[in-house]
Structure 1
């Protein structure tokens, strides 16, 4: 009987679990408020409101829309002496408002605030992924003293060489080597391994993985600042700081384009006003140049595209760390995976059944599910689900015993059965005969073989 991992990455699942809804983003709420005020102002006129009331609504909508990006634009100007798109959009909106075009000012402020809000929301999703990684390892650890006594300490108090206890259901605090105990450890969040890995003395365990069944005593081989989880957090943080090619182009473009537009607007106002003497008309035309030339569509399109694509991938269990990696997917022609079964759904399913001797397929499923029905191992649950789906009646079981890290055994109708890996059968000196070749073939294609004897 074989089970094939049929899951998304554990990290992606955890990141999605902690990701806050879009409406909980402060920038999104301000942008939405600006849009609502803009809509109210647009409808106020036809509803009979006075011009001053309508203008007042537009003014408030403009201020709300400018709330974040105008301050950011002035901060960039003061600190870095750079005229950015944020400042250009703010000047365009304020200029339109000063000239009495508050409806246009509110519209411009709202449209650009969408861009800023979505960009911030995209970065929030990556920050949530980092928080998810940091939360994988427990913050408090049961350290074992030299005399065997247990003491609860903070994670940062664990040094290399310290021994600590990992109970069933607990996360592994830091990297180390198993000294005592046997258990299955869920490594999906760190390595992507879909099936819990059996661990025993001498085996390595990683920070952020989850101990499934037995208790383990581990000797730390890394501290909280240089273990596997910490290194992954560092990589994710670096990925977050990498901008996509389109975004980098937009930044370079804006550094030259934004000052040029501002200069062009000022020149239109000064030259036109000086030649004609009609300063008000040429001030309106200068504002028109700034508003029309502001690259609002270009600026909005990039973060909107990132949010839509990364959000869609996230709902399917794929965590994309940043815009640069999203763009590189378009140029990818070959995807190399480290081993068979890397891309899974983290829910094993029964794929093949190979009965031997005089037992038929339904009898084999009944015995396997009967023995495994009291086990919490993912493969045991897969066998139980399969038995239920094909309508197999489970027999009465007695003398059940879980073999941590290996399988289970029980008695059915006076006959003793063992269900587990081929390695367990070898340890029990059970001759598999021809079935050993079947097991090898199944394992070669990425399946996990469960043997019933």
Structure 2
């Protein structure tokens, strides 16, 4: 045993409250400071303090809440662009220039508050999943060639190193179990509520928690490419992208802002030339600039989408971009793979067919004994079935395996073989199982037929409910594309309610099927396991990789990665995206109506500056808060 010890990694601290997270943002701190100064200035006015004192407090409020927008607007101006930050600062300064310092301060406070809300939404999105990158322990115990252990920083581990993971420790790297057996709590990465067994040959991930056993793990990927590191990169990428609606708004915003400036100058100059006094002309022009500015329009799109990305991330679904989250709500057809998607990709014994007077348990125990040393998936499935039934499986000797032919061994003095069934002894029950697309193996004892075992890929528990939910959302059931046999595909499709089945497909055939649906006017979402489905995932309007946490190909090909491998998240994800799109439409409607109403009032009547500020900036705050509604827990509704 290694002599070195590894300092136990402490459990993560409780998640900080929303208030403490918000206070770490400079936008929030400055907005809060501006609000306090604004209230103090108002209090001084009400108590009859010298006007100079209240003016000084208001001007300090200008600086606290306006310096960041001013810097952002100046930078944009240097790049020969005009944005709403500069418009708001200019409007506030104009209000102060004509003696309306209270109204200008109110504008600054509300504008800073809306900016703080946007920053908070972005921060919540990133923190929803990026905290996973901090789960991996700082140290690891590397096993040297002589069996001793060396404690070193986990970041210094290289591919091929062997590390010792003691009970209760967090795993320092993604790798493969070489020795030992334990249960691993993967909730921090996949969201699975129950620990999973980890035995020799199993893959384990950095940041997960080892259970009661001791494991020796071979490092398979460097620290910067581990699952948690890739998840953090995905979230960063998603937070920095912009949806199509947002890009369109930003393109319009440039022209619109220039138009507002030109209209403001005209609204100031024309009345002045016609004999109006300077203060009234400037006040009306400043009011127009404020109410016509597209602040709420700019905030209409991204807060709902960022909130949806954060909510999905909390439930083990990673959208790699705002474009992907927006696109999920527009899909009209869903294509699903069979193996690894609707099924979990591992064969399972589904029928035991004994011959003669043997019992099913006796037949299964003999087959499991012969398959005990086998590494073939069928062999592991047979052993697992016997163990699940609680059968006593005797040891075997003289084990032999022939590729493509099966295994043979001596069990309790008898020769037992497990192989493909012979045509001459194929019974009606065997043919029925094969007609359903199941794999059938024959068990022979001392050369005589003892019975058959039927195996099939195990259907995921949520498959039928998910197919039904997607069918209800789209108006028609998903399309099944698989490279498996037609019999197996039809059998599985009948069990989950899919009627459009296309089997025996190569990867390029799946791409052709996706292109066909797109040619018919559909926006297609492809759901696959991220490996052999990679071409179809890339060709889809939205590609969703199931169980992609260990697959580089899934990360590179898919727009969405279902980390916890839960089918029930798919309809919930589509509905979440649709709700986000509905909120975007609501926000655009609110913002547009408020701008039109206030501009009309200012042009045909007399709109008081305080009312214009309250109406315009109030709509901006309302739009930002409306976009944050998807951060609530009840925004996520998976299938039953």
In the alignment, is residue 82 of structure 1 matched against residue 81 of structure 2?
yes
**Corresponding residue for 1:117?**
116
Query: Which piece of structure 1 moves more, 319-328 or 212-221?
Result: 319-328
The residue aligned with 1:178 is: 177
Q: Which stretch of the first structure deviates more once superposed, 323-332 or 214-223?
A: 323-332
Partner of 1:139: 138
**Whole-Å separation in 2 of the counterparts to 1:36 and 1:174:** 48
C-alpha distance in 1 between matches for 2:158 and 2:310: 39
Deviation, structure 1 residue 148: 0.7
Q: Give the stretch that moved more between structures: 149-158 or 285-294.
A: 285-294
Give the TM-score of the pair, scaled to structure 1.
Answer: 0.65
CA positional deviation for 1:73: 1.4
* 8 Å Cα contact 1:141-1:152 kept in structure 2: yes
Higher RCO, 1 vs 2 (CA within 8 Å, ≥6 residues apart):
1
Residues 431-446 of structure 1: pairs in structure 2 closer than 5 A: 446=461
Superposition pairs for residues 370-381 of structure 1, below 5 Å?
none
The answer (yes or no) to whether the contact 1:172–1:208 under 8 Å persists in 2 is yes
**Residue 423 (1) aligns with residue 422 (2):** no
Q: 2-side partners of 1:65 and 1:120: how far apart?
A: 14
Pair 287,233 (structure 1): closer, same or farther in 2 beyond 3 Å: same
1:386 alignment partner in structure 2: none
CA 1:193–1:138 in structure 2 vs 1: closer, same or farther (change >3 Å)?
A: same
CA-CA distance at 1:183 after TM superposition:
0.6
Q: CA deviation at 1:111?
A: 1.4
1:286 counterpart residue number: 285
Q: After TM superposition, list the pairs within 5 Å mapping 1:339-358 onto structure 2.
A: none
Question: Structure 1 unaligned runs (5+)?
Answer: 1-12, 343-419, 431-439, 448-453
Distance 1:250 1:15 in 2: 39
Q: How far has the Cα of 1:269 moved from its partner?
A: 3.4
Question: Does 2:55 correspond to 1:55?
Answer: yes
1:162-185 CA-to-partner distances (Å, cap 9, x unmatched) read 111111111222221111100111
- Change in Cα spacing, 1:246 to 1:90, as seen in structure 2 (3 Å) is farther
Rate the CA distance shift 1:164–1:317 in 2: closer, same or farther, 3 A. closer
Of 175-184 and 186-195, more deviation after overlay is shown by: 186-195
1:151-201 CA-partner distances (Å, limit 9, x unpaired):
011223211111111111112222211111001112233334332111111
How far does residue 56 in structure 1 lie from its aligned partner after superposition?
A: 3.0
For residues 64-121 of structure 1, give each alpha carbon's deviation from its aligned partner in whole angstroms, at most 9, with x where no partner exists.
221322211112222x321111111111111111221111111111111112111111
Displacement of 1:128 after TM fit?
2.3
Matched, 1:29 2:15: no
CA contact under 8 A between 1:15 and 1:129: conserved in structure 2? no
Task: Give the Cα–Cα distance (whole angstroms) in 1 for the partners of residues 32 and 149 of structure 2.
Answer: 54
Quote the residue 1:223 is aligned against.
Answer: 222
Distance 1:319 1:30, change over 3 A: farther
SS in structure 1 at match of 2:225: coil
Could you tell me the TM-score, scaled by structure 2's length?
A: 0.47
| Residue pair 1:112, 1:300 contacting (<8 A) in 2 also | no
List alignment gaps of at least 5 residues for structure 2: 1-11, 345-383, 395-454, 463-640
Q: How does 1:129-278 map to 2 (within 5 A)?
A: 129=128, 131-274=130-273, 276=275, 278=277
Aligned: 1:126 with 2:125: yes
112 and 327 in structure 1: CA distance in 2 versus 1, 3 angstrom threshold: farther
CA distance in 2, matches of 1:128, 1:326: 17
Cα distance in structure 2, aligned partners of 1:341 and 1:34: 56
Matched residue of 1:67: which SS? Answer: helix
SS at structure 2 position matched to 1:165? strand
User: Quick one: structure 1 residues 43 and 245, their matched pair in 2 at CA, closer, same or farther if it must change by over 3 Å?
Assistant: farther
* 2:176 aligned counterpart, secondary structure: strand
Q: Is 1:96 equivalent to 2:95 in the alignment?
A: yes
Q: Secondary structure at the match of 2:145?
A: coil
| Conserved? CA contact 1:180–1:201, under 8 Å | yes
- Mapped to 2, the partners of 1:288 and 1:422 lie a distance apart of 79
Q: Give the direction of change, closer, same or farther, for the CA distance of 1:268–1:110 in structure 2 (3 Å limit).
A: same
Q: How much has 1:25 moved relative to structure 2? A: 2.8
- Helix, strand or coil: the match of 2:164? strand
Deviates more, 1:28-37 or 1:143-152: 28-37
Give me the whole-angstrom Cα distance separating, in 2, the residues matched to 1:427 and 1:69.
72
Q: CA deviation at 1:277?
A: 8.2
1:71 lines up with 2:35 in the alignment: no
For residues 368-426 of structure 1, what are the alpha-carbon distances to aligned partners after superposition, in whole Å with 9 as ceiling and x for unaligned? xxxxxxxxxxxxxxxxxxxxxxxxxxxxxxxxxxxxxxxxxxxxxxxxxxxx9962665
1:104–1:265 distance in 2 versus 1, CA, 3 Å: same
Q: Is the 8 A contact 1:206 1:228 kept in 2?
A: yes
